[in-house]
Amino acid sequence: MNRSWAEPWKIKMVEPISVTTREHREAAIVEAGYNTFLLKSDDVYIDLLTDSGTTAMSDRQWAAMMIGDESYAGARSFYKLVEAVHDVYGYEELIPTHQGRGAEHILSQILISPGDVIPGNMYFTTTRYHQERAGGTFVDVIIDEAHDPTSMHPFKGNIDLDKLAAVVEEFGAERVAYVSFETNVNLAGGQPASMANIKAVYDYCSQRGILVMLDATRAVENAYMIQQREAGYEDSSVASILSEITSYSDGATVSSKKDNLVNIGGFLAVRDPELARKARALLVAFEGLHTYGGMAGRDMEALAEGIREMVRTDDHVRSRVGQVEYLGNRLIKFGVPVVTPIGGHGVFLDAARILEHLDQDEFPAQALAAAIYVDSGVRGMERGIVSAGRDPLTGENRRPNLELVRLTIPRRVYTQSHMDVVAESVIEVFNNRESIGGLTFTYEPEDLRFFQARFAPIAQDA
Ligand SMILES: *Cc1c(COP(=O)(O)O)cnc(C)c1O
């Protein structure tokens, strides 16, 4: 008999949530300009907007916060964090920041000169923003399968080495600021890269003097996928796979609000002391002194414990990814089009296929996210044409192949029953999909527009 597994924890403290009425939610989504980012959390029942900073910390992490050292300089908590990052990720030099984008800002400023190119696997919103802000041009070199939501490729996060080589040939190795290699690619649907690919990219780059900088924000989930899918790794621990991943890199940016199991924090970590020196020079201007960056001592304590906890045994990540797969498989069973294989941190609804009657300029994913909220109070997020923004040179909308609604599962927060409620709502909305109309902008911010944009339903002809 196939035996069930369960979460490797029990609940010690609870936070009440409340169900709202449909009328209340209809008013709330209008108030929010049909943008789930602008909803108040009190109006949300099950919050799958993001898994960023929404983690439930453990009793050990809460206990660690009490012994945080709040000294301005040289805090004990900082050295604990340095040790944890070194033990788990293998990097010597730690630059602590307030969250992932703080690290991306500093990395981009020290490595990118105007006119440089930064090849990367798909893109992440804040990562690309900082690369472009530093005068660089991001070039997508992910394998084609990543842009196909129906492809069952087990490693859709892989870099296409031919595409990478073409960029290096066109611009020359000296114009390539670094290769930006994201683990478990967020916007592709939480899709991993294989160890073989990570190693091949590193070998190719180090022969040409090109740095490889990981976005290791979701490297633990990537390591787990390698254990499950790549031959030769089935008996390796997630911790040892993670160490091998990072060994094929020159440094990493990490948003600690994801894998690292804390509500705020992040870091840049590198091997080269000279690079670290340059990073610290900016750190003190933009984040804080080099021994706390953007974090309080107690934040660094909780983070150091979170980093150890995420790989102490494999049970944590297995149950984390297992819960995501549980939700995804329920939706697949009822015929809802989702990105496959199910990714590490969320289920990505294929809004382009669900709302076939809408043009991409009518923002199908934005409209679908709003419809699910109105149905049940479940909050997801648009990851499609709105998130992709406009091309800085032409001013035209970028038109990504992927037009998705992301239902992101916070770590250690919701139970299987919550997942059942989410599945039932999505299935209900899917069955009534013809009734969902398109949206148009009423306010479009210049930068990272998805966060604060406002929309209204497109007027229907009578
Ligand atoms: C969340 C995230 C970031 C940005 O980190 P913040 O902590 O939100 O600033 C960067 N890359 C990836 C892959 C992420 O998921």
Q: What is the CA radius of gyration of the chain?
A: 22
CA distance 189 to 206: 29
Long-range pairs, 15-23, Cβ under 8 A, ≥24? 17/45, 17/46, 18/45, 19/45, 19/377, 20/45, 20/377, 22/374, 22/375
Catalytic entry in 34, 89, 124, 138: 124
Domain residue spans in the chain?
22-51+314-457, 59-309
Right CATH for 59-309 from 3.40.640.10, 3.20.20.70, 3.40.50.11810, 3.40.50.2000: 3.40.640.10
450 is catalytic: yes
Give the predicted TM-score (pTM) of the model: 0.94
Please tell me the residue having the least CA distance from ligand 1 atom 2: 255
CA distance 230 to 194: 7
DSSP per-residue codes, 343-386: -SSEEEEEHHHHTTTS-GGG-HHHHHHHHHHHHHSEE-EEESHH
Could you give the C-alpha distances from 346 to 61, 320, 349, 371, in angstroms and in order?
24, 10, 10, 18
Catalytic entry in 60, 72, 420, 451: 72
- B/e letters for 436-454, b = 16+ CB within 10 Å, e = fewer, are bebbeeeeeeeeebbeebe
Tens-binned pLDDT, residue by residue, of the chain (462 aa):
888 888 999 999 999 998 999 999 999 999 999 999 999 999 999 999 999 999 999 999 999 999 999 999 999 999 999 999 999 999 999 999 999 999 999 999 999 999 999 999 998 989 999 999 999 999 999 999 999 989 999 999 999 999 999 999 999 999 999 999 999 999 888 999 999 999 999 999 999 999 999 999 999 999 999 999 999 999 999 999 999 999 999 999 999 999 999 999 999 999 999 999 999 999 999 999 999 999 999 999 999 999 999 999 999 999 999 999 999 999 999 999 999 999 999 999 999 999 999 999 999 999 999 999 999 999 999 999 999 898 888 989 999 888 999 999 999 999 999 999 999 999 999 999 999 999 999 999 988 898 999 999 998 654
CA distance 32 to 136: 34
CA distance 128 to 104: 9
Q: How far is the CA of 232 from the centre of ligand 1 (A)?
A: 30
Residue 73 CB neighbour total at 10 angstroms: 9
Using alpha carbons, select from 97, 57, 51 the residue that is nearest to residue 306. Answer: 57
Q: Is 127 in the pocket of ligand 1 (CB under 6 A)?
A: yes
CA distance 193 to 234: 16
Catalytic entry in 156, 383, 411, 433: 383
Q: Is 265 in the pocket of ligand 1 (CB under 6 A)?
A: no
Which residues, including other chains, have CB under 8 Å from residue 462's CB and lie 6 or more apart? none
CATH class of 22-51+314-457: alpha beta
